[in-house]
Amino acid sequence: MSRVVIIGSGIAGLFAALRLDKAGHEVIIITKQRPEDSSTNWAQGGIAGILDKTDGEGMAAHINDTLACGDGVCDEEVVRCVVEEAGDRIRDLLSIGVDFEKDGTEFHLVKEGGHSTRRILHAKDATGAEIERALTNAVDSSDNISLRPHTLGVDLIQRTHGNPEDGIKGIWCLDLGTGNMNAISADAVLIATGGCGLLWERTTNPSVASGDGLAMAVRAGAASKDMAYFQFHPTALMAGNDKPFLITEALRGEGGVLLDNEGLIKYRAGHEQPEKYSFTLKSSHHGSLATRDVVARACDQRMKVTGADNVWLVTDHLDKTKLHNHFPNIESKLNEYGLSLGVDPLPVAPAAHYMVGGLSVDIDGKVLMENGNEIPGLYGIGEVACTGMHGANRLASNSLLEAVVFANRAADHFIARPNNNLEDVPSWRAEGMTKLEEHAPLVRDLETLRKTMTDDVGIVRNFSRLQRAKRMLELLSIEVDLIWTKSLPSRELVELRNLILVATHITEDAIRRTENRGLHYNKDLI
């Protein structure tokens, strides 16, 4: 029996664990909070896919929509692979117990920005939570899968120190309950840690999204790819809530429209369909249902021109009962702030949402080095990985699909070529290190980092701002490294170290770009 350590407990990690378990392998899942604190659990919209494998026209349309959204950067082979495997993987989720919404005997499908038709399965407006529930229940019933919550992966252990070509043999991790550093040996490590939305002051991501998996893989010799492409979701609630709350794109798919203050006044006075007054029409004839890069930039530009803190999402022209039935999670959250679907204009603004770039991986999820060779025993799946599926801009609701397809492919790759050579792994060396007593510098550095990324590496960029961010990141890296070399690891220190490294890769990739594509928009390149 081989042992695989999986870092992360979202859809990618849990699905891969079940696949490996079915093949008879031991699986250890580590996650730094609870399983339900993953980004998967926060996903509202759904999972895009064509269930009928004979529907060639439907799959071709899904492929074309994905390629168009990716703005010429997608790997077409990967896109075809994911779309063609969608039906099988969605049926796997159904067999595990995921309960997607139905309209009679048929699945209720929704449409989101960039999609030419309704092809998105959902569980009302809490699809991720439903998938997480079913997968977690299945994992809990397995004897070969052990789940270790409150365990933070710190660094990968190489078979030969300093030589990624020899592969990975384990991981050092921090027990957040005891503060102890533990070493776990593994025949393979599968990274499924999600993204890094915490780099920005406003994000829809959970508090675990600090880029840990990407950073530890890079330190072990992995290459990153397309890091300049980071997706901002156009519609996060801005109603005095401390943390942005995502308003799913499916609401615009049902007819919700974005307006600025002027458009809202005209709509209320004119009694016509609100889309006529949407500022988004100046950016795309698709208006409020254009792709996320276009809509987010339009919102950002409008807010900067008018000085407003938000734009408005209006739904009062839609069927109120239908909205409440399809979006109960959103309605409940809105009610906390005295708002209601089908009645009130909703204050929204863009927020950091999804890391489209990530670890460079091949079509089986194997992590690659800069020279294109794989790091033996290391896989990356889900948001942490850049597979080529999303190109320069992720099409809505393709992320859960990509995650489950690549989880299956990575697991199958290991199952077909299993290692069974567990090696002894060294203990974490802590001689001369002391417990960090003063956390104030870390707090200040994190605030500086997030403000730098928000101001200088946001939706709209320019070279002078990017260079400023690079200089600030270099200074932060030096200061945090000084603390790191003298201190025992803590969650705050590990996360800050990782965030700075990931921010550096995003910024440097943005500086290297010579054209605007998808999510990367530099005013100096217009």
Give the catalytic positions in this structure: 292
Q: Which of 484, 245, 475 is nearest to 353 (CA)?
A: 245
- Give the amino acid at 498: N
Which residue type, as a one-letter code, is found at position 516? N
CB 426 within 8 A of CB 169: no
- Euclidean distance between CA atoms 141 and 161, whole angstroms: 37
The token pair that represents 112 in the structure block? 């989101």
Q: How far apart are CA 514 and CA 150, in angstroms?
A: 42
Return the H-helix or E-strand segment holding 27. Answer: strand 26-30
Q: Tokens for 388, please give them.
A: 């080529």
- Strand bridging mode 26-30 / 145-148: parallel
Residue 246 in contact with residue 44, Cβ under 8 Å? Answer: yes
Dist CA 114 CA 395 (whole Å): 6
* C-alpha to C-alpha distance for 503 and 517, rounded to whole angstroms: 19
Distance between CA atoms of residues 40 and 132, nearest Å: 7
Structure token digits, residue 390: 């999303």
In sequence order, what are the residues at sequence separation of 6 or more whose Cβ sits closer than 8 angstroms to the Cβ of residue 226? 73, 356, 357, 358, 386, 392, 509
448 membership: H or E segment, kind and range: helix 440-456
Sign of the alpha-carbon torsion through 479, 481, 484, 486: negative
Residue in 23, 415, 401 with CA at minimum distance from that of residue 190: 415
Q: In angstroms, rounded to a whole number, what is the distance separating the alpha carbons of residues 49 and 68? A: 16
Phi and psi (nearest 5°) for 48?
A: -80, 145
- Would you tell me how many other CB atoms lie within 10 Å of the CB of residue 264? 16
